[in-house]
């Protein structure tokens, strides 16, 4: 009996516990049910979005860069397809060993390694960095076979910028280089970072830089489905990239090359402008360099040799070299004197060969002086005394106020970066700069383009062009039009006049004709003998070091780098000028000696198509048939040839 009751009680107790257990089970499943509700209903939209986020990725399709042509259609910058060997540092723990192993398969030079290391420092972590570029088909084949040994090593077909004419117009074109951290920061500030997804290069200097936004184009995107490991499963949609627009420069590349050749080994700068439009026909900086060196990433040694070369080939002289203009300043000084009324056309002085100020004797370059000199003669024979005097009488500030609208000491606004303003001295300037007041004794040298005057050749050419254009100022520019890559529709960038300088036509003509006389009977007569047109010009000789009061200048005794600079400005033809030029040959001696002959040959070519006798026609870039140019492919997509699978996260 007890047993039965015990069993009953035990059964009952068991059943109670089973019931409790069932309740707990129901409770737990209830919790699960609540969780499901929360995940699948309440937060459904969120999770759905995350699932989509996971599986969909946007792969950028970088645009192809715009081409650059000269005004006649000669190709100056293009994109060439080539294979590169690239490493992804994030996935390569032992880079040196990987490189060593790769060098067993293809040749890897020390230069390649140096450049690779330098690029590595400046790259984003996830980027692949090129080790060897422009692989031959044979090299590609050998590498592709071995690629399984090298995860994180890729062979890519990339578009490379190529400058077929090498160092011609290097300073105008500039170059592109790999995007650095600084570039990224700058793009971010401009809100343009998104456009550079998938891009590796950006314009660094020159037109490549100043027109970067136009040349770059607009990035496209592939919407792809990816697995967790980043493997692309399929493409869902595609927004094609918009290729960059092409640039047509105002530069005449044959003129440019001619001018560069005329310099020879000498250092200097030349700027030629079309006065009526502001088109820059040539912008020469010597010595130059080959921009192709920079495209793959320049190796440190080459960079150093360019950077530290005593002749500074990387320096853009026309824009950044500030020189005293010397006697080329005199025509402008003459205009200043006429406009301010300090002189009339018929006023004369007696030029004994010096100008006395107190006890200081300002010497004329011709020790005996030029006798009786009026304004016209002062330009033709380049009388220093005349201009010492007129400068002193005008005072530095009146000179400053006249010269400023002509662009001296100002930015010309050319469409290249990093112009320098140079120095147009004034009392206020000196106070600001040296915390000293202006001494009247400093003014006479201003009149002959020495003293504190420091202008760029671009400014000088610009002023000359304005003079040729009768005082109508046209903003100088190197890009003439922007060409739509698909429709080939061209849009002119300029020109319209910036402003007009209020000046008497009679004064202008007087100075212009005096300058024509310079080339007929004056200091420019040797250079312009036999010219088939009338050209206006002015020689200039800028002192590099001061000559002591009683000493004479003897070029042979002074070391080359202390010799005077040779300058020349000109425009032609006198009636309706089509070209204005300013040249400096550093340490070239007298203006007539080195600079003027270059200008003569440049104008001969531009106006007459005539080449110097000793120059080979073949030297100049050929003009290509327009039809041939259009064969250049406009939308080359960078393809990846051999990429190993990405790892799982």
Residues that are catalytic:
327
Question: Which CB, 50 or 307, lies closer to other proteins?
Answer: 50
Least separation in angstroms between CB 50 and other proteins: 5
Is position 236 an interface residue for other proteins (rule: CB under 8 A)? no
H or E element, residue 475: none
Question: Which CB, 3 or 265, lies closer to other proteins?
Answer: 3
Residue 315's contacts (CB-CB under 8 Å, 6 or more residues apart) are: 285, 321
Tell me which residue has tokens 């995940």.
Answer: 39
DSSP assignment string, 503-531:
--HHHHHHHHHHHHHHHHTSTTTTTTTT-
Question: Which CB, 37 or 499, lies closer to other proteins?
Answer: 37
Binding mask 44-83 for other proteins (x = CB under 8 A): x-xxx-xxx-xx----------------------------
Least separation in angstroms between CB 131 and other proteins: 28
Residues that bind other proteins (rule: CB under 8 A) add up to a total of: 43
Pick from 284, 281, 301: nearest CA to 293: 301
**How far apart, in whole angstroms, are the C-alpha atoms of residue 467 and residue 501?**
10
Is position 8 an interface residue for other proteins (rule: CB under 8 A)? yes
**How far apart, in whole angstroms, are the C-alpha atoms of residue 88 and residue 111?**
19
Residue 511's contacts (CB-CB under 8 Å, 6 or more residues apart) are: 331, 334, 335, 338, 379, 467
Phi/psi of residue 369, nearest 5 degrees = 80, 175
Is position 235 an interface residue for other proteins (rule: CB under 8 A)? no
Is position 619 an interface residue for other proteins (rule: CB under 8 A)? no
Question: Which CB, 55 or 266, lies closer to other proteins?
Answer: 55
Least separation in angstroms between CB 27 and other proteins: 10
Least separation in angstroms between CB 153 and other proteins: 24
**How far apart, in whole angstroms, are the C-alpha atoms of residue 123 and residue 87?**
12
**How far apart, in whole angstroms, are the C-alpha atoms of residue 528 and residue 191?**
54
Least separation in angstroms between CB 40 and other proteins: 4
> Segment contacting other proteins (CB under 8 A): 28-36, 301-309, 479-487, 621-629?
28-36
> Segment contacting other proteins (CB under 8 A): 82-90, 127-135, 222-230, 421-429?
222-230
Question: Which CB, 24 or 506, lies closer to other proteins?
Answer: 24
**How far apart, in whole angstroms, are the C-alpha atoms of residue 176 and residue 179?**
9
**How far apart, in whole angstroms, are the C-alpha atoms of residue 67 and residue 486?**
12
Is position 229 an interface residue for other proteins (rule: CB under 8 A)? yes
Which two structure tokens, joined as six digits, stand for 606? 């531009």
Chosen residue from 185, 233, 608, 623 binding other proteins by CB under 8 A: 233
Cβ count within 10 A of residue 73: 15
E-strand stretches of 439-591: 472-474, 479-483, 490-492, 497-500, 536-542, 565-572, 579-585
Helix (H, G, I), strand (E, B) or coil at 154: strand
> Segment contacting other proteins (CB under 8 A): 219-227, 350-358, 464-472, 511-519?
219-227
> Segment contacting other proteins (CB under 8 A): 43-51, 114-122, 588-596, 604-612?
43-51
Measure the CA angle with vertex 421, ends 270 and 395; round to 5°: 105
Least separation in angstroms between CB 11 and other proteins: 7
Is position 648 an interface residue for other proteins (rule: CB under 8 A)? yes
Is position 17 an interface residue for other proteins (rule: CB under 8 A)? yes
Least separation in angstroms between CB 32 and other proteins: 6
Least separation in angstroms between CB 221 and other proteins: 20
Tell me which residue has tokens 């550079």.
Answer: 196
Question: Which CB, 30 or 440, lies closer to other proteins?
Answer: 30
Pick from 405, 607, 596: nearest CA to 519: 596
Angle at which helix 396-403 crosses helix 427-434, to 10 degrees, equals 100
Is position 237 an interface residue for other proteins (rule: CB under 8 A)? no
Is position 41 an interface residue for other proteins (rule: CB under 8 A)? yes
Is position 29 an interface residue for other proteins (rule: CB under 8 A)? yes
Which two structure tokens, joined as six digits, stand for 196? 């550079």
Chosen residue from 310, 358, 609, 649 binding other proteins by CB under 8 A: 649
Name the site residues for other proteins (rule: CB under 8 A).
3, 6, 8, 10-11, 13-15, 17-18, 21-22, 25-26, 28-29, 31-33, 35-37, 39-41, 43-44, 46-48, 50-52, 54-55, 225-229, 233, 648-649
């Amino acid at each position: 009996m007890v047993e039965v009751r015990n069993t009953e009680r035990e059964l009952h107790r068991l059943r109670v516990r089973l019931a409790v257990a069932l309740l707990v089970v129901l409770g737990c499943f209830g919790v699960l049910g609540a969780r499901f509700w929360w995940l699948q209903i309440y937060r459904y939209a969120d999770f759905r979005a995350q699932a989509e986020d996971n599986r969909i990725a946007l792969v950028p399709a970088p645009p192809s860069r715009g081409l650059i042509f000269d005004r006649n259609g000669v190709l100056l910058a293009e994109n060439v397809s080539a294979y590169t060997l690239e490493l992804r540092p994030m996935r390569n723990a032992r880079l040196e060993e990987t490189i060593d192993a790769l060098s067993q398969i293809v040749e890897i030079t020390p230069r390649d390694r140096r450049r690779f290391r330098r690029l590595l420092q400046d790259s984003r972590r996830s980027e692949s960095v090129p080790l060897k570029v422009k692989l031959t088909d044979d090299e590609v084949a050998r590498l592709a076979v071995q690629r399984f040994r090298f995860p994180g090593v890729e062979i890519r077909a990339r578009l490379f910028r190529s400058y077929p004419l090498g160092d011609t117009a290097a300073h105008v074109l500039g170059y592109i280089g790999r995007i650095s951290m600084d570039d990224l920061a700058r793009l971010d500030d401009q809100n343009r970072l998104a456009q550079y997804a998938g891009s590796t290069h950006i314009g660094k200097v020159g037109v490549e830089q100043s027109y970067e936004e136009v040349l770059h184009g607009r990035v496209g995107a592939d919407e792809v489905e990816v697995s967790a490991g980043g493997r692309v499963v399929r493409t869902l949609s595609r927004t094609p990239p918009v290729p960059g627009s092409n640039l047509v420069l105002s530069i005449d590349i044959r003129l440019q090359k001619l001018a560069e050749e005329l310099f020879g080994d000498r250092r200097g700068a030349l700027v030629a402008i079309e006065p009526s439009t502001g088109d820059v026909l040539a912008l020469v900086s010597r010595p130059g360099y080959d921009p192709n060196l920079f495209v793959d990433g320049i190796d440190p040694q080459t960079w150093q040799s360019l950077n530290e070369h005593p002749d500074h080939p990387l320096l853009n002289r026309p824009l950044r070299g500030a020189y005293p203009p010397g006697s080329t300043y005199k025509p402008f000084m003459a205009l200043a004197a006429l406009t301010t009324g300090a002189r009339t056309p018929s006023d004369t002085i007696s030029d004994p060969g010096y100008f006395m100020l107190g006890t200081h004797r300002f010497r004329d370059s011709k020790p005996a002086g030029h006798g009786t000199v009026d304004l016209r003669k002062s330009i033709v024979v380049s009388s220093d005394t005349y201009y010492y005097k007129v400068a002193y009488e005008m005072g530095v500030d009146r000179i400053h106020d006249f010269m400023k609208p002509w662009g001296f000491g100002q930015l010309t606004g050319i469409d290249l970066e990093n112009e320098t303003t140079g120095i147009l001295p004034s009392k206020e300037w000196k106070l600001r700069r040296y915390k000293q007041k202006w001494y009247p004794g400093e003014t006479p040298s201003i009149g002959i383009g020495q003293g504190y005057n420091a202008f760029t050749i671009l400014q000088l050419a610009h002023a000359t062009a304005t003079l040729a254009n009768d005082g109508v100022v046209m903003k100088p520019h190197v890009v003439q039009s922007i060409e739509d890559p698909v429709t080939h529709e061209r849009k002119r960038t300029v020109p319209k006049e910036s402003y007009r300088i209020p000046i008497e036509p009679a004064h202008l003509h007087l100075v212009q004709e005096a300058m024509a006389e310079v080339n007929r009977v004056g200091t420019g007569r040797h250079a312009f003998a036999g010219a088939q047109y009338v050209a206006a010009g002015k020689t200039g000789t800028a002192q590099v070091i001061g000559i002591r009061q009683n000493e004479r200048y003897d070029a042979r005794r002074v070391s080359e780098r202390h010799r005077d600079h040779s300058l020349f400005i000109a425009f032609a033809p006198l009636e309706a000028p089509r070209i204005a030029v300013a040249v400096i040959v550093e340490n070239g001696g007298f203006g007539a000696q080195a600079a003027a002959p270059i200008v003569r040959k440049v104008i001969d070519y531009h106006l007459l198509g005539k080449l110097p006798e000793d120059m080979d026609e073949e030297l100049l870039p050929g003009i290509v048939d327009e039809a041939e140019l259009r064969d250049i492919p406009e939308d080359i997509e960078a393809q990846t040839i051999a990429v190993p699978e990405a790892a799982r996260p």
